[in-house]
Amino acid sequence: MELKFDSVTKRYRQKLALDSFSVTLTEGVHALLGPNGAGKSTLMNILAGLLAQTSGSISLDGRDIIAMGADYRAMLGFMPQEPGFYKSFSAFETLDYYAVLRDVKDRRERIDEMLCLVNLQEDAKRRVGSFSGGMKRRLGIALALLNDPKILILDEPTAGLDPKERIRFRNLISQIGLGKTVILATHIVSDIESISDSVLLLKDGRLIGRDTADGLCRQLEGMVWDIPMSAQEAERYIAENRCANIVKHGGEVFVHTLSQVRPAEKALLAKPCLEDVYMHSFGDSSEARDAAG
C-alpha cells in the first residue's frame, strides 16, 4: 500500500500552515516530528478527511482519497488530539456505540478483542468520566482500531500521560503497527525514538528531512559535544546559547551542545541522539522532552 502526499498545501487566510508537503509512505510507523505550530494537526486533519487542503492531493495506491470517499474512510482509523467521549458511557458502551455507527462486523467479539488489546477489559463497565488520561488514550486507540484500519493516524497520542503510561503506549503502538501505515504526530522525541520506521521532520509547514531515527542521528556525527563545566558555568553557558542543555554523568556536569567545530578545548564528542536532531532542526529541544520525565 502506498500513501502519496503530492504538494499538499494549506493556507488559513494569511497563514501558510502547510507548504507543498510531498512524501510517499508505505507500511510501518512514521513519526511526524515538529514543534507546536509546525502544521502537524493540519496535516493529520487533512489526511483524516476533516479539513480540505488549499491545493495538492493525497492518493492511496494511485486513487485520490477524496474521490475514494467511503472506501477510504473504511480503511482509516483516527485518534485526534482530544478524543471526545460521553462521560456517562462505559468503555464498552463507547465502543459499542461507534461500532454500530461504523457497521463493524461481529461487534461483540471485536470490542472484546480491542478492550483486551488496550488492557481495559477489567474496566469495560466503568464510566469513561472516571478514567485517567492514559485510560482515555487507550480507549481512543481501541476506537481508532475498531474497523481494523489499514491507515492509523495518531495525533499527539501521549499528550498528558505519565512516563509509565507513555511506555505502555509505545509498546502498544509497535504491537499494532505491523501490517498498517501508522502516522504518529508528536513533538516528544522519546515517543518515537525506538518505535518509528521513519521520521519526518516538519518545520513551518515544510518537510525539512526524512530518514530513520538512526539515519537522522548519523547525520550529526562529529557535531555533538559534551563540555565539562561547573554547575555555575553551565548555567551561564545555557543562558547565552539556546542550542544547549545541561547533562549529568556520574555526578559531573556537562553542557551538551551542537557545533560544527570543537566548541571548547576540553569538549568531548558525544553520540548524537534524536533529541539532538530536534535541537538541530528546530533550534530548541526543551519542548521535545517528555514533560513528565
Which is closer to ligand ADP, CB of 15 or CB of 271? 15
Within 10 A of 281 (CB to CB), how many other CB atoms are there?
Answer: 19
Contact 75, 180 (CB under 8 A): no
Min CB(44)–ligand ADP separation in Å:
7
Closer of 33 and 135 to ligand ADP (Cβ): 33
CB atoms within 10 A of CB 275: 19
Binding mask 187-226 for ligand ADP (x = CB under 6 A): ----------------------------------------
Instruction: Give min distance, CB of 285 to ligand ADP, in A.
Output: 16
Least Å from the CB of residue 42 to ligand ADP: 3
User: Beta-strand (E) ranges in 69-116?
Assistant: 76-79
CA atoms within 13 A on the CB side of 270: 23
Residue in this structure with the C-alpha cell 488492557, named with its chain if needed: 119
> Site size for ligand ADP, by CB under 6 A?
11
Of residues 36 and 232, the one with the C-beta less far from ligand ADP: 36
Comparing CB distances to ligand ADP, the nearer of 42 and 59 is 42
Count Cβ atoms below 10 Å from residue 290 Cβ, excluding itself: 14
Which x/- pattern, by CB under 6 A, does the window 165-184 give for ligand ADP? --------------------
For 27, other C-beta atoms within 10 Å of its C-beta total 17
First to last CA, the chain: 37
Helix residue ranges, H only, 177-273: 213-218, 231-240
Q: How far is the CB of 157 from ligand ADP (least distance, A)?
A: 13
Q: Which is nearer to ligand ADP, 40 or 110 (CB)?
A: 40
- Closest CB to ligand ADP among residues 40, 166: 40
**Nearer to ligand ADP (CB atom), residue 41 or residue 181:** 41
| Dist CA 119 CA 143 (whole Å) | 13
Smallest separation (angstroms) from ligand ADP to the CB of 24: 21
Which 10-49 positions form the footprint of ligand ADP (CB under 6 A)? Answer: 12, 15, 17, 34, 36-42
Name the minimum Å distance from CB 205 to ligand ADP: 7
Query: Residue 11 or residue 150: which is nearer to ligand ADP going by CB?
Result: 11
Name the minimum Å distance from CB 71 to ligand ADP.
26
| Rounded least distance, CB 26 to ligand ADP, Å | 23
**Bridge partners, 199 (sequence order):** 31, 211
Strands (E), the chain: 3-12, 15-25, 28-33, 55-60, 63-64, 76-79, 151-155, 181-186, 198-203, 206-211, 224-228, 244-249, 252-258, 268-269
Of 38-97, which residues contact ligand ADP (CB under 6 A)? 38-42
Give the span between the Cα atoms of 176 and 180, in whole angstroms. Answer: 8
Cell numbers for 240:
547565552
Interface residues with ligand ADP (CB under 6 A) are 12, 15, 17, 34, 36-42
